[in-house]
Amino acid sequence: MCEFGQVTKVSLQGSGKSGVGWFKLKDGQVYHDHFYKADAAEGIVVDVLKDGELGELGVHVSLELDNASARALALAILNTVDTLEAKQAETDRRLAAR
């Protein structure tokens, strides 16, 4: 029996690109589920949605990641955000010192 994991929903600001072009991001969701296509039986699923639509047509990207891949992606995103914020803070300090 599948024990579908809790869905964590997030509002997104940004854009994504699919085979038909760019689209405005609206929402995302992350949860545990059994996979449809990935080699592993189950893991973490990340859905990126456009226009707040749920269901087949609203999902523009769906990632099925094993635990290690999900953790690596999350850490890479966090590290990149930290680096960008540090760079922005340094730029702000330099501008304020002028």
- pTM higher than 0.75: yes
| CB-CB contact of 70 with 77 (8 Å) | no
Decide: helix, strand or coil at residue 92: helix
| Residue 77 backbone phi and psi in degrees, to 5 | -65, -45
**Highest-pLDDT range among 1-5, 24-28, 66-70:** 66-70
Tokens of 50: 């456009």
- Give the model confidence (pLDDT) of 8-22 as tens digits: 999 999 988 877 778
| CB-CB contact of 5 with 42 (8 Å) | no
**Burial of residue 12, with CB atoms counted within 10 A of its CB: 0-12 exposed, 13-18 middle, 19 or more buried:** middle
Tokens of 62: 């769906």
- Give the model confidence (pLDDT) of 37-59 as tens digits: 767 778 888 988 886 555 555 66
